[in-house]
Amino acid sequence: MVKAVQAGQVWRSDESGDNYLVTKVYAEVFTQYAMLRPAKVSAPEAETIRVKVAKAEGGMTLPGYTFTQASQDF
Counted domains in the chain: 1
Asked, for residue 2, whether it belongs to a domain, the answer is no
Domain region containing 43: 10-62
Looking at residue 74, its pLDDT comes to 41
Asked, for residue 29, whether it belongs to a domain, the answer is yes
What is the mean pLDDT, run by run of 10 residues, along the chain of 74 residues? 94 94 94 93 78 93 90 46
DSSP for 39-74, written as a single string = -STTGGGSPPEEEEPEEETTEEE-TTEEE--S----
- At residue 8, what are phi and psi to the nearest 5 degrees? 100, -15
Question: What distance lies between CA 31 and its chain's CA centroid?
Answer: 15
Asked, for residue 39, whether it belongs to a domain, the answer is yes
Asked, for residue 55, whether it belongs to a domain, the answer is yes
Asked, for residue 32, whether it belongs to a domain, the answer is yes
Asked, for residue 71, whether it belongs to a domain, the answer is no
Report the distance separating Cα 60 and Cα 36, nearest Å. Answer: 15
Asked, for residue 33, whether it belongs to a domain, the answer is yes
Report the distance separating Cα 73 and Cα 40, nearest Å. Answer: 25
